[in-house]
A and B are shown apart, each in its own frame.
Chain A
Amino acid sequence: MEYILSWLIWLPVVGMVAIAFIPREKEDLIKQAAAVTTGVQFFLTLVLWNNFDSQDGSMQFKEWAEWIPSFNISYHLGVDGLSLPMVILTGMLFFIGVFVSWNIKKAVKGYFALFLLLNTGVMGVFLSLDFFLFYIFWEVMLLPMYFLIGMWGGPQREYAAIKFFLYTLFGSVLMLVGILGLYFSCGKTFDILELTRVAPEALGGLMWWGMSAIKVIWVLLFIGFAIKVPVFPFHTWLPLAHVEAPTAISVLLAGILLKLGVYGIIRVNYGLMPDGVYWFSYALALLGLINVIWGGLCALAQTDLKKLVAYSSVNHMGYSLIGMAAIVAAGEANGANIKAAQAGMGGAVFQMFNHGTISAMLFILVGVIYERAHHREIEGFGGLASQMPVYTGITAVAFFAGLGLPGLSGFISEAMCFIGAFPVYKTIVIASTIGILLNAAYFLWAFQRIFFGELNEKYNDLPEINRLELFTVVPLLIITLFFGIYPAPYLDIISSTMDTIIEHVVDMATYASM
């Protein structure tokens, strides 16, 4: 129990080493090894959840060990209500991912080795409380991703892979500058908790080249995270990467890696620069709006199903951004509207999780049809509903979840985001409600073109979704449904942490004009 977080992080590495020693002919053994590793990890995350005290808004299960004293770098782990759901999601999606990629033919050994390495990177980012450690894990994700896209991906895979890599590296380089700036202007520490304590004062009034240091650092870090989210001007890597990546990797990209961005903004930007939050929140909401509309319109225009789903991610993360911006509602200037702040933040964090499950589901389903028809052209299908009813039903639920239908988890988080941001950013929220119309439009239109109408005789012997695929998608379906009907369990986990963050931002902000 004491070192559970370390176990979560390093277990995949153990699995990777194990796989390295399995001769590459024994493919089944390799797959089983990966499955076992991720399975155990998933189980551990559940244990973690079980022992997690949701009333405590602070960090739990902390681990601390000295690492590089000369730079005050330490091996510092911890989990709170913000990261716990993400950790569980990670565990689950990687476990599912193994089965999604069960049919990988090429270089199985390398695939699963990298897969597990990626797992370590993601876990590490969510759990590390030391900025240096955080950054290392952040970067560790890149190389495996590069290989997984570039080697097992679609026709344009190499281009997609390098693009993803360059994009993200650009972001993280700026991030590094920001981190170092923080380090030296906040009493030489990388400890995020420590920084959260000291940074707000330490940065206050600090000026660089006539600009407030807070603004500079905020922007540097924000770009780094925004690229992952992805926020509007930095989003173009996403459709490409998602489309080219193999199904399992698209699932992980959409399901988890995008969340790293939002997570980072809340954990770092919000925690360390409360004044920055007030300065930037309007822009944040605006970017959210742009994401929603832009993503929606792009999705509407797509003819490739996977690309459509990819753009839907852009659109959905927009809601998250809008919700996050609502935190300023808690400020005195906005009438100390705690309700709105809670709704917004809760919605944003809930949206992270829901989009994780829903988009994962969508990508798996796209993979299923691609496996069978060997293409993803929406126009190329038609009438599949009568051919593969089960698949149709599941896809219908997934699509409805995607378009924010009440009774499915997506609706609640989106509604919370809107309700939260509304008191502060009325116009933006009202404008972005158009987004939910666009959601409905592109999902239903695609659904009609794929499943309705006369059956395309080309496909009148298309096999129904099989057990393995069902096994991968049904759990997600159940979660979506459950949280859609009864979100309380999730919100209980996060609410006290959200309060901590909100209070922190409200109390620590100096409200000095920057």
Chain B
Amino acid sequence: MNNLQSLSYFYPELLLTMVILVAIIYDLFIDSSESGKVGWVLVFGLVLVAISIWFQDSSKVTTLFTDAIVLDPFSTFFKLLIILATIFVSIVSLHSGELENYRKGEYFSLLGIITFGLFLMVSSIDLIMVYVSIEIVSIMSFVLAGYLKKNTRSNEAALKYVVYGAFSSGIMLFGLSYIYGLTGSTNFFQIQQTFAASGPESNSAILIAVIMVLAGFGYKISAVPFHFWTPDVYEGAPTTITAYLSIAPKAGALAMMIRFFNQVLADGGAMVGMGSFSSTDIPWPSILSLLAVLTMTVGNVVAIQQNNVKRMLAYSSIAHAGYMLLAMPVMSGESVYAIMVYLVMYLFMNLGAFFVVITVKNRTNGETFDDYKGLGWEMPIVGISMTLFMVSLTGLPPTAGFIGKFYIFASLIQGGSAFYWLVIIGGINSVISLYYYLRVVKVMYFDGERKDSLLFPPRVLSGMLLVTAIPTLVLGIYWVPIAEWIQSSLVFFIQTI
């Protein structure tokens, strides 16, 4: 479909662009003291965008802009997910103590732009668009990570992020260039055709190219061994941004990865629900399995050492990326389904955990475990919801986290006995993770004395805690609607040439 026609299917993105512009312009007319209002503009706008996406007839699966991006339920699902995350984060950002003395106008506009980039990311089926979207998201993230200009840690984070990011996306680009060279096309489906046609002699080349591309993906979802930026950036960046980075770009990158592996390296079978087979002889499933195991193990194991809750959560988010990657090698309908379910659950529990960190930092102005002493007695809401998030992140029923893991493991078991070892390792990992997650709980309740005066965080923050905590619990008990929605979103655009 040519560009002009495409516009008629592109209006959510256009709407988003308008929202961003409005935010920027509005920011010019207000003084910094009330720059927070921009946040509400963004939130409001995002809600509109969400509605427009919701009512967009995504069932009409189609490609836009001459096969640059697609419009399909799969991308719609991720768009909504990302919008939700963005809304949550923006609301919390309004009350984060870190951002007190900064003008928040750009902050929110940048958030908007990242969202836009992510939209492209989740729907791109063209190498060019892949790179462009990644870069959009990355560049904005660099800026946001270093948003606290006066804070040297924030600066450092930004520097590391930018160098690391640019470096790995560069490597990815180099890999992409080889893929282009090998296939003469940048379109997923044509590439897949050529790969399928190409003989074994080019496998090694493809392998190298794929590995280089993987460097890019791995960096975005912070998978070992491309994760080294994560802890420092997460620690240094404003907690709100950390929270955002821990969920939204991951989701986008995962979506992109799914498309890439499913449609470039496999025959896209997962899209139509059947198990797919690798169309090239390169062992990408085993590479991914290895990556997944490494990622969760390193994430969990290192997390034990942390004394800074924020940093601990950074590693935990690495570990969770590992859990999601677990399902990737199977690349069956169920596994993709499982990843999507996991993302939804992960969104609530992980954001919730970070919101707690923000709340606590507002109060004690610290992020280390010591700052959490006796918190459970002092701030019951925070204590209870944090406990809930930790339990959920560990993956114990009856919480959302368990359901996520349950779906992942189920898809693996269904994938056949070849994947059982992954399940066992995943399980043992969640046992390890219990250790450091419960450490927070322990500090909050066992250390430190119970206070007689109770403390309650500002209304909005407590509200956000509940908004994340309640689903974390409820989805652990009854998740049918979500499951069905995801089931219906499990429709992909597949072009057969």
Q: Which residues of A contact B (CB under 8 A)?
A: 67-71, 106-107, 135-136, 139-140, 142-143, 146-147, 150-151, 157-158, 162, 165-166, 169-170, 173-174, 176-177, 180-181, 183-184, 208-209
Asked if A68 contacts B483 (CB within 8 A), the reply is yes
Tell me, in angstroms, the Cα distance from A184 to B410 when the chains sit together: 8
Q: Which residues of B contact A67 (CB under 8 A)?
A: 478
What 1/0 mask marks residues of chain B from 414 to 425 whose CB sits below 8 Å from any chain A CB? 100100100110
Asked if A150 contacts B397 (CB within 8 A), the reply is no
Q: Which residues of B contact A69 (CB under 8 A)?
A: 480
Asked if A107 contacts B434 (CB within 8 A), the reply is no
Contact of B409 among A136, A169, A176 (CB under 8 A): A176
Q: Taking A139-B396, A177-B420, A177-B424 as contacts, is the C-beta distance between A166 and B431 under 8 angstroms?
A: yes
Asked if B413 contacts A162 (CB within 8 A), the reply is no
Asked if A169 contacts B413 (CB within 8 A), the reply is no
Asked if A139 contacts B397 (CB within 8 A), the reply is yes
- Is B10 part of the binding interface, using a Cβ–Cβ cutoff of 8 Å? no
Q: Which residues of A contact B394 (CB under 8 A)?
A: 169
Contact of B397 among A140, A151, A165, A180 (CB under 8 A): A140
Contact of B428 among A143, A173, A208 (CB under 8 A): A173
Asked if A150 contacts B446 (CB within 8 A), the reply is yes
Q: Which residues of B contact A147 (CB under 8 A)?
A: 445
- Is B430 part of the binding interface, using a Cβ–Cβ cutoff of 8 Å? yes
Contact of B398 among A140, A158, A173, A177 (CB under 8 A): A140
Q: Which residues of A contact B391 (CB under 8 A)?
A: 143
Tell me, in angstroms, the Cα distance from A106 to B446 when the chains sit together: 12
Q: Which residues of B contact A (CB under 8 A)?
A: 391, 394, 396-398, 402, 406, 409-410, 413-414, 417, 420, 423-424, 427-428, 430-431, 434-435, 438, 442, 445-446, 450, 478-480, 483-484, 487
Asked if B442 contacts A136 (CB within 8 A), the reply is no
Contact of B420 among A140, A146, A208 (CB under 8 A): A208
Q: Which residues of B contact A143 (CB under 8 A)?
A: 391, 396
Q: Taking A70-B487, A143-B391 as contacts, is the C-beta distance between A177 and B423 under 8 angstroms?
A: yes
Q: Taking A162-B442, A176-B409 as contacts, is the C-beta distance between A169 and B431 under 8 angstroms?
A: yes
Contact of B414 among A139, A184, A209 (CB under 8 A): A184
Shortest A90–chain B CB gap in Å is 20
Shortest A203–chain B CB gap in Å is 13
Tell me, in angstroms, the Cα distance from A140 to B477 when the chains sit together: 12
Q: Which residue of A lies closest to B414 (CB)?
A: A184
Interface of chain B: mostly helix, strand, loop or mixed = helix
Tell me, in angstroms, the Cα distance from A147 to B417 when the chains sit together: 37
Asked if B480 contacts A177 (CB within 8 A), the reply is no
Asked if A177 contacts B427 (CB within 8 A), the reply is yes
Tell me, in angstroms, the Cα distance from A140 to B476 when the chains sit together: 12
Asked if B417 contacts A208 (CB within 8 A), the reply is yes
Shortest B484–chain A CB gap in Å is 8
Tell me, in angstroms, the Cα distance from A37 to B190 when the chains sit together: 67
Asked if A68 contacts B409 (CB within 8 A), the reply is no
Shortest A186–chain B CB gap in Å is 12
Q: Taking A69-B480, A181-B413 as contacts, is the C-beta distance between A170 and B446 under 8 angstroms?
A: no
Asked if B428 contacts A150 (CB within 8 A), the reply is no
Beyond the given A70-B487, A170-B428, could you list 19 further A-B residue pairs with CB under 8 A, ordered by the A residue number?
A68-B483, A69-B480, A140-B397, A143-B391, A143-B396, A147-B445, A150-B442, A162-B435, A166-B431, A169-B394, A174-B424, A177-B420, A177-B427, A180-B410, A180-B423, A181-B413, A183-B413, A184-B414, A209-B417
Shortest B102–chain A CB gap in Å is 40
Shortest A158–chain B CB gap in Å is 6
Q: Which residues of A contact B434 (CB under 8 A)?
A: 165-166, 169
Shortest B87–chain A CB gap in Å is 28
Q: Which residues of B contact A68 (CB under 8 A)?
A: 478-480, 483
Tell me, in angstroms, the Cα distance from A143 to B438 when the chains sit together: 10
Contact of A170 among B414, B431, B442, B450 (CB under 8 A): B431
Between-chain CB contacts (< 8 Å), 19 pairs: A68-B479, A68-B483, A106-B450, A107-B450, A139-B398, A150-B445, A150-B446, A151-B445, A151-B446, A162-B435, A169-B434, A173-B427, A174-B424, A174-B427, A176-B409, A177-B409, A181-B420, A184-B413, A209-B417
Q: Which residue of B lies closest to A143 (CB)?
A: B391
Shortest A273–chain B CB gap in Å is 17
Q: Which residues of A contact B402 (CB under 8 A)?
A: 139
Q: Which residue of A lies closest to B483 (CB)?
A: A70
Q: Which residue of A lies closest to B427 (CB)?
A: A173
Q: Which residues of B contact A174 (CB under 8 A)?
A: 424, 427
Tell me, in angstroms, the Cα distance from A276 to B427 when the chains sit together: 24
Q: Taking A158-B446, A177-B413 as contacts, is the C-beta distance between A165 and B438 under 8 angstroms?
A: yes
Asked if B410 contacts A169 (CB within 8 A), the reply is no
Q: Which residue of B lies closest to A209 (CB)?
A: B417
Shortest A116–chain B CB gap in Å is 16
Tell me, in angstroms, the Cα distance from A139 to B398 when the chains sit together: 8
Asked if A136 contacts B398 (CB within 8 A), the reply is yes
Asked if A173 contacts B430 (CB within 8 A), the reply is yes
Shortest Cβ-Cβ A-B pairs, 7 listed? A173-B427, A180-B413, A136-B397, A208-B417, A139-B397, A170-B431, A169-B431
Q: Which residue of A lies closest to B337 (CB)?
A: A70
Shortest B234–chain A CB gap in Å is 26
Tell me, in angstroms, the Cα distance from A52 to B434 when the chains sit together: 41
Residue picked from A151, A177, A181, A183, most chain B C-beta under 10 Å: A177
Tell me, in angstroms, the Cα distance from A143 to B396 when the chains sit together: 9
Q: Which residue of B lies closest to A181 (CB)?
A: B413
Tell me, in angstroms, the Cα distance from A347 to B113 when the chains sit together: 70
Tell me, in angstroms, the Cα distance from A183 to B409 when the chains sit together: 12
